[in-house]
């Protein structure tokens, strides 16, 4: 079945058993803690306005997508903000073949945001290719954390870990992140990336660790980092006089 609405602002919404919910605006946590669950093959939650917020106006919001369910920001103009405002906390879990599809993703926009992907979950763009961008720790004062494990996959264009805030990307075991655009660890904030056993970070558009006045740290713990599609791309440590990269 299907349902169309204008917003999801509080309480709990579950989309299950192949159901579909299409909405202009998704706000999970709008003064009241809220949760959204998308569960089961064919189950879809579709957002079609300018942005979707998980964690908003000083409260906590959560989104869980599991068992082949899908959360979709339907257009290239729909941004996903996790931890949308200062004082807000947003948490997203994608697992058991679940998918998150969005074009512009901020994990910790002004607040605190996290994404955990496990058991063959995926983060992709709206049509199944690469999302345009992911900023982890987007605005000043924000904190963002992203973790992929268990044969999970993420494809984005530009990847910033610590854009203007504090960001961390962790690939502890058996996961792959591909960035077709520039990958910057510590853009104008602080960024930390760990790549563990059987995990891959593919920085096809080049890799910078420590940009502007930021600090960036990349730790290889049994994993693989490839810079450029064939391993011949540019690697920059400490791009300006004030940037530090390790």
> pLDDT tens-digit profile of 196-216?
999 999 999 999 998 876 789
Q: Judge whether residue 168 has pLDDT over 80.
A: yes
β-pairing, 224-227 vs 51-56, is unpaired
> pLDDT tens-digit profile of 40-85?
999 999 988 778 889 888 889 999 999 999 999 987 778 899 998 8
Tokens of 23: 């909405």
Closest CA to 140 of 82, 81, 86: 86
Length of the chain equals 246
Q: What is the DSSP letter of 174?
A: E
Phi, psi dihedral angles at 87 (to 5 degrees):
90, -5
Give the pTM.
Answer: 0.93
CA distances from 130 to 5, 102, 178, 180 (A): 28, 9, 8, 8
Q: Judge whether residue 242 has pLDDT over 60.
A: no
What was the pLDDT predicted at 5?
A: 52
**Residue 242 falls in which region: left (phi positive, over 0), alpha (psi -120 to 50) or beta:** alpha
């Amino acid at each position: 079945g299907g349902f169309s609405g204008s917003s999801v602002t509080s309480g709990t919404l579950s989309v299950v058993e192949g159901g579909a919910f299409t909405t202009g605006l998704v706000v999970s946590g709008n003064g009241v803690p809220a949760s959204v669950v998308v569960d089961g093959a064919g189950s879809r939650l579709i957002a079609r306005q300018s942005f979707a917020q998980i964690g908003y106006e000083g409260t906590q919001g959560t989104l869980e997508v599991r068992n082949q369910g899908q959360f979709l920001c339907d257009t290239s103009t729909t941004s996903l903000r996790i931890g949308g405002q200062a004082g807000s906390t947003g948490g997203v879990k994608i697992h058991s073949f679940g998918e998150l599809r969005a074009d512009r993703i901020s994990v910790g926009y002004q607040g605190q945001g996290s994404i955990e992907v496990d058991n063959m979950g995926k983060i992709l763009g709206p049509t199944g290719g690469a999302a345009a961008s992911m900023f982890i720790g987007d605005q000043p004062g924000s904190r963002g954390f992203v973790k992929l494990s268990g044969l999970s996959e993420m494809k984005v264009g530009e990847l910033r870990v610590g854009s203007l805030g504090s960001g961390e990307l962790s690939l502890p075991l058996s996961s792959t992140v591909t960035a077709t655009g520039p990958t910057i660890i510590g853009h104008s904030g602080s960024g930390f990336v760990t790549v563990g056993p059987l995990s891959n970070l593919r920085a096809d558009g080049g890799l910078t660790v420590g940009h502007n006045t930021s600090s960036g740290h990349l730790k290889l713990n049994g994993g693989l980092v490839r810079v450029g599609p064939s391993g011949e791309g540019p690697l920059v440590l400490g791009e300006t006089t004030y940037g530090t990269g390790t």
